[in-house]
Amino acid sequence: MIDHIYLPVKDIDRSLQFYATLLTPLDFAGRWDFKGQDGWPDLYGFGGDRPGFWLKRSTTTFPELYVAFIATSKEAVEKAYAAALAHGGADNGVPGPRPQFSDRYYAANVLDPDGYSLEICFKPWLYDGSDPVSSRA
């Protein structure tokens, strides 16, 4: 159901240390650092080969939350995006490739009626056993 989530944090170094320590006994401390570019923030993911828990540096006082739902196909991404817009959601990124993550990553982004940021993503490697990151920016 949920593919990944990120938490906004004020002190990234403190939070990286905290979560690395917390997640080590759970075998989820393997980290993936995504150095943002072209307007994308730096993100720090935990979970090894399939990071699902991410931290993002934030300076806002608004309670940010970002949730990505997993889809089983590009068509499912497009249908969920259309359903969200038809029921009070707002566009925050039309369905399409997201090459900044992988050349095979396909997603759409919406804001829910309260303004929370949602992503619907299709990652074919979850289904075909291929390499998840054949190219990553």
Prediction pTM value: 0.68
Query: 20 with 69, same domain?
Result: no
63: buried, middle or exposed (CB in 10 Å: 19+, 13-18, 0-12)?
exposed
**In which domain, by residue range, is 42 found?**
1-59
∠ CA 12-14-20, rounded to 5°: 95
Considering the domain architecture, whether residues 41 and 27 belong to the same structural domain is answered as: yes
- Per the rule left: phi > 0, alpha: psi between -120 and 50, beta: everything else, 58 is beta
Whole-angstrom CA distances from 12 to 35, 40, 50, 52, 58 are 14, 16, 21, 17, 9
Per-residue pLDDT tens over the stretch 48-101 = 788 888 888 887 766 678 889 889 899 999 999 999 999 988 999 999 999 988
Q: In the predicted model, is pLDDT for residue 135 greater than 70?
A: no
Token pair 């170094």 in the structure block, residue: 13
Same domain, 26 and 85: no
Number of domains in the chain: 2
Q: In CATH, what number is assigned to the domain containing residue 48? A: 3.10.180.10
Provide the 8-state DSSP code for 114.
Answer: T
Q: Whole-angstrom Cα distance, residue 110 to residue 89?
A: 6
pLDDT at 25: 72
Please check whether residues 87 and 43 belong to one and the same domain: no
